[in-house]
Structure 1
Amino acid sequence: MATAITDGVKVSVETIYQPEYSNPANEHFMFAYRVEISNLSDYPVQLMRRQWSIFDSNSSRREVEGEGVVGLQPVIAPGESHVYVSGCNLKTDMGSMQGKYLMKRLVDDAEFDVDIPEFQLIAPYKLN
């Protein structure tokens, strides 16, 4: 599990390879990732936007940006967490992702970036 804390917001990510949705012969490797965002601060925060950098082991890189996560802009109260699951496809059996969330502190509407730690996307057979 990869974890980072930025300005009182903790982001933890776990990944799983999905062989049932992958087709290696056609350079299609599917991964799911589970993200837990915990508010360790004293103020409620809202996740406004996300930005991802996705890397394949063939040196290709792509950027994904948009509002919220999986269609939501969750408000996370102090001491609470928001968990979601999403997915990413790669053209290779190894890669990584990292990024940032744009958060808003609801007490004063101040916006700040929260780091999403780099995490690996690796088909299990590559680890043998």
Structure 2
Amino acid sequence: MVTTITDGVKVSVETIYQPEYSNPDHDHFMFAYKINIENMGSYAVQLISRHWNIFDSNGVKREVEGEGVVGQQPVIEPGNSHEYVSGCNLKTDMGSMKGSYHMVRLLDNTGFDVQIPEFYLIAPYRMN
């Protein structure tokens, strides 16, 4: 698990290779990732949007932007967290992701960006 804290918001990420949804013979590798977003600050925040940089080990980079996460724009009260699971397909059996969430402090509608730490997507057979 990798973790980072930005402006009182802690983001932790775990990854899982999905062999049942992968097809290595056709350069299709599926990974799931579980993200926990914890509000360690004093004010409620709302996740508005996300921005991802996705890298395959062959040098291909993709950018993905969109509203919320898995169809939600969660409000996270102080001391609470929001967890979700999503997925990413790669053309190689190794890669990485990193990005940011744009959030708003509900007290004064101040916007800020929270870093998502870089995490690696690696098929387990590559790790010996």
TM-score (norm 1): 1.00
Runs of 4+ in structure 1 off by over 4 angstroms are none
TM-superposed deviation, 1:98: 0.1
Letter in 2 for 1:23: N
The residue aligned with 1:47 is 47
TM-superposed deviation, 1:105: 0.1
The residue aligned with 2:86 is 86
TM-superposed deviation, 1:101: 0.1
Aligned residue for 1:31, secondary structure, equals strand
The residue aligned with 2:25 is 25
Letter in 2 for 1:38: E
Corresponding pairs, count: 128
Determine the C-alpha separation between the residues in 2 that align with 1:37 and 1:52: 16
The residue aligned with 1:106 is 106
The residue aligned with 1:73 is 73
Determine the C-alpha separation between the residues in 1 that align with 2:123 and 2:49: 29
Determine the C-alpha separation between the residues in 2 that align with 1:97 and 1:56: 9
Could you list the runs of 5+ residues in structure 2 that have no partner in the other structure? Answer: none
TM-score (norm 2): 1.00
Aligned residue for 1:111, secondary structure, equals strand
Could you list the runs of 5+ residues in structure 1 that have no partner in the other structure? Answer: none
